[in-house]
Amino acid sequence: MPDSLNYVREAAKSIGLKLPEERESAIAEAVAVALRQVEAIRVDSTPVPAPTTYDASWSEQK
Amino acid sequence: MASNPNLTPTTIRQTLTKLAEKQVSHVELVQDLLTRIQQTDADVIAWLDVRPKYLMELAEAQDRRRSVPKPPTSLFGIPIGVKDIIDVSGYQTVCNMEARENVLEAARDADVVHRLRGAGALFVGKTVTQEAAAGIFSDPCRNPWDTARIPGGSSGGSAAAVANGTALGALGTDTGGSIRIPAALCGVTGLKPTYGRLSVNGIFPLSPSLDTPGPIARDVADTMALYLGMQGKHREIPAMWDRFPEEPRSLAGKRIGVLTSYFNEHIQPEIAAAQQKALTAAESLGAEIVECDWADAMTARYVGSLIQRMESAQIHRDLLFNQPHLMGEQLRSRVEVGALLPADAWFAAIAARDRVKASIAALYREHRLDAIVAPSTPVTAPLVGEKQVAYADGTTEETGLALTRLTQPWNATGQPIIAIPAGVDDRGLPIGLSLIGRPDEEWELADIAHALEKSF
């Protein structure tokens, strides 16, 4: 996964984190999984439509 | 392979009666416990830093205190284990981290320990956890039911100590399932209270917006007694025991949800059967069973996972940048991934957390649910070193992902959960079920859990 490898290298460089070469691809793979999770939780990809106001009450009002 | 579960356990409630009626002294209680630790802990390895001489001196002092004609405090002399990320005055809090091996002894108790000390609890020692409480293996601790298997984690030592009878109760913490998973795998009861309900002061953080301390014990009544003690409400404990009678109370008027899809996919058949048995028992006690689905379960799981990674990356940032060689492979990878995620992942996760909280609230509201029942874990205790677990349909899942799959969504919503034992599978390994309640309704949940524990 060249894209995620590039992403990981760039991100590590930008925060000054040294990644040992032998670990780079494993980390890139794990980061790619996490980034897919981020995409999956964004508003327009979740099964619940984005509400304009949240109703967080747990039972009916009496 | 050794097997050391205590199959004839004494509960906190029974022990308090025996102590009050002088059927047993504090010295005898502690002596028995130390003998059992000596007999079993070479195999189970649940304990760190147990100080026999000090404990015997405390027990002797407690026996002398008994001779004073004034009622003792409500958990007087009850032996408790403390997960080694929670401060106990005079003990190191190493968190199973090489970087903290030489850390100074804690100068004061964590709030939850301080409050239990006020209730009279006796702290036996610290219990083994996963490095930084980040994972489900709790190595080198082993499962008392079969020492070739893991106890679960990260409160593995606490659950193992209660399961093999070397503590009557223990303290754990839960960020992605770390109380419920070991409780399920070791056949004991655990409570993850509503997020924010108990103080985390004096507890080493993993993910501050998810970390939740809670008790582990033999049954629901003992667990709730410790919960009161952890809140500093120990004066309410003597009256509390009546809430949990020998015979289960009626569940008439209660509505219990069972979730289809996510929570019932890839489940070991005996665990699915145990859940069905619990539902049948609940129905026979008068509860109404409601089938429903929560479409946001997977989103909630991702939210829990992402928040945990990003927050733990901040907690361990200095270590990662300056002394990464002192981190275990698993912790290091987790922290690296969290550190490398873009900042907007955080905002996406926080926004999604609000949405999943609203959607689960809507489910409870719509179906008028008092609780949801779900398996605590999809499989019973995996073998040490088992990287994948296999399901009946031939599919496999990475062990860590499998064991947190059913627990982590509820950390995102912050709800209270009681994990109870629900029998054993064909290999004699414990099965765990979870009861998930509405926020701040731990006691309503305990009533249902108590009724169901009597059905197994």
What average pLDDT does range B104-120 have in this prediction? 98
Contact between B89 and B109 under an 8 Å Cβ cutoff? The reply is yes
Q: Dump pLDDT digits (tens) for B138-190.
A: 999 999 999 999 999 999 999 999 999 999 999 999 999 999 999 999 999 99
Nearest to B420, CA basis, from B272, B276, B217, B246: B217
pTM of the model: 0.96
Q: pLDDT band at B67, cuts 50/70/90?
A: confident
The token duo for B373 is: 């029942």
* More confident site: B226 or B7: B226
Contact A41 B305 (CB under 8 A): no
Of B333, B349, B365, which is closest to A59 when you measure between CB atoms? B365
> Is A10's pLDDT higher than 60?
yes
Q: pLDDT band at B2, cuts 50/70/90?
A: low
- B51: alpha, beta or left? (left if phi > 0; alpha if psi -120 to 50): beta
Within 8 A of A14 by CB-CB distance, chain B residues are none
Q: Residue B95, class by beta-carbon neighbours within 10 Å (0-12 exposed, 13-18 middle, 19+ buried)?
A: buried
Average pLDDT over all residues of chain B: 96
Q: Which residue of B has its CA nearest to A61?
A: B365
Q: Dump pLDDT digits (tens) for B407-455.
A: 999 999 999 999 999 999 999 999 999 999 999 999 999 999 999 998 8
**Which helix (H) or strand (E) segment is A30 a member of?**
helix A21-41
Sequence-ordered list of residues with C-beta below 8 angstroms from that of B223, at least 6 positions apart, any chain: B169, B189, B190, B191, B215, B216, B217, B418, B446
Query: What values do phi and psi take at B231, rounded to 5?
Result: -90, -5
* pLDDT for res B68: 87
Q: Which amino acid is at B437?
A: G
The token duo for B325 is: 């060689």
Contact B341 A34 (CB under 8 A): yes
Q: Dump pLDDT digits (tens) for B245-258.
A: 999 899 999 999 99
Nearest to B72, CA basis, from B114, B16, B123, B15: B16
The minimum CA-CA distance between A1 and chain B, rounded to whole Å, is 16
> What residues of chain B, 322 to 361, have a C-beta less than 8 Å from chain A?
333, 336-337, 339-342, 345, 348-349, 351-352, 354-359, 361
Of A41, A54, A60, which is closest to B352 when you measure between CB atoms? A41
Q: Tell me the ipTM for this assembly.
A: 0.90
